[in-house]
Structure 1
Amino acid sequence: MERVRDVSELPKAHLHLHFTGSMRPGTVLELADKYGVRLPEALSDALISGEPPQLRATDERGWFRFQRLYDAARSCLRQPEDIQRLVREAAEEDLKDGSGWLEIQVDPTSYAPRLGGLIPALEIILDAVETTSRDTGLGMRVLVAANRMKHPLDARTLARLAVRYADRGVIGFGLSNDERRGMARDFDRAFAIARDGGLLSAPHGGELTGPASVRDCLDDLEANRIGHGVRAAEDPRLLKRLADRGVTCEVCPASNVALGVYEKPQDVPLRTLFEAGVPLALGADDPLLFGSRLAAQYDIARRHHSFTDAELAELARQSVRGSAAPEDVKDRLLAGIDRWLTGPADGSGRTADTA
Structure 2
Amino acid sequence: MRPVTELAKAHLHLHFTGSMRHATLVELAERDGIRLPTSLTEDWPPQLSADDEKGWFRFQRLYDVARSVLRTEDDIRRLVREAAEDDVVDGALWTEMQVDPSGYAARFGGITAFTDLVIDAARDASERTGLGIGLVVAANRTRHPMDARTLARLAAQYVGRGVVGFGLSNDERRGTTAEFGPAFAIAERAGLRSVPHGGELRGAAHVRECLDHLRPDRLGHGVRSVEDPDVLARIVDAGIALEVCPTSNVALGVYRTIDEVPVRDLVAAGATVALGADDPLLFGTRLAGQYAILRAAQHFEDDELAHLARSSFAASSAPPHVREAAERDIQQWLERPTDGGMQA
TM-score (norm 2): 0.98
Aligned to 2:202: 209
- Tell me whether 1:28 sits opposite 2:28 in the alignment: no
Counterpart in the other structure of 1:106: 99
1:1-355 equivalences under 5 Å are 4-46=1-43, 51-349=44-342
Q: What secondary structure does 1:103 align onto?
A: strand
Which whole-Å CA distance do the structure 2 matches of 1:78 and 1:112 have between them? 12
Label 1:19 to 1:130 Cα distance change in 2 as closer, same or farther (>3 A): same
Distance across 2 between alignment mates of 1:221 and 1:287: 27
The 2-side partners of 1:341 and 1:244 are apart by 29
Distance 2:77 2:41 in 1: 23
Question: Match of 2:70, as an amino acid?
Answer: L
Deviation at 1:350, TM superposition (A): 6.9
Give structure 2 stretches of 5+ with no counterpart: none
Amino acid at match of 2:293: I
Partner Cα separation in structure 1 for residue 21 and residue 335 of structure 2 = 34
Moved more, 79-88 or 297-306: 297-306
SS for the counterpart of 1:231 is helix
Query: 2-side partners of 1:43 and 1:273: how far apart?
Result: 33
How far apart in 2 are the matches of 1:150 and 1:25? 28
Find the aligned partners of 1:119 and 1:340 in 2 and give their Cα distance: 41
The CA distance in 2 between the partners of 1:233 and 1:285, in whole Å, is 20
SS of the aligned residue for 1:347 comes to coil
* TM-superposed deviation, 1:43: 2.0
- Aligned residue-pair number: 344
RMSD after superposition: 1.1
Deviation for aligned residue 1:348: 5.0
Deviation at 1:349, TM superposition (A): 3.1
Percent identity between the two aligned chains: 58
C-alpha distance after superposition, 1:150-178 (max 9, x if no partner): 00000000000001011220000000000
2:231 and 2:293 map into 1 onto residues whose CA distance is 25
Query: What amino acid does structure 2 have at the position aligned with 1:44?
Result: T
Unpaired runs of at least 5, structure 1: none
- Measured in 2, the distance between the counterparts of 1:348 and 1:115 equals 48
In 1, Cα distance between equivalents of 2:269 and 2:177:
25
- Segment of structure 1 superposing worse, 142-151 or 324-333: 324-333
Quick check: 2:39–2:45 contact (8 Å CA) kept in 1?
Answer: no
SS of the equivalent of 2:167 reads strand
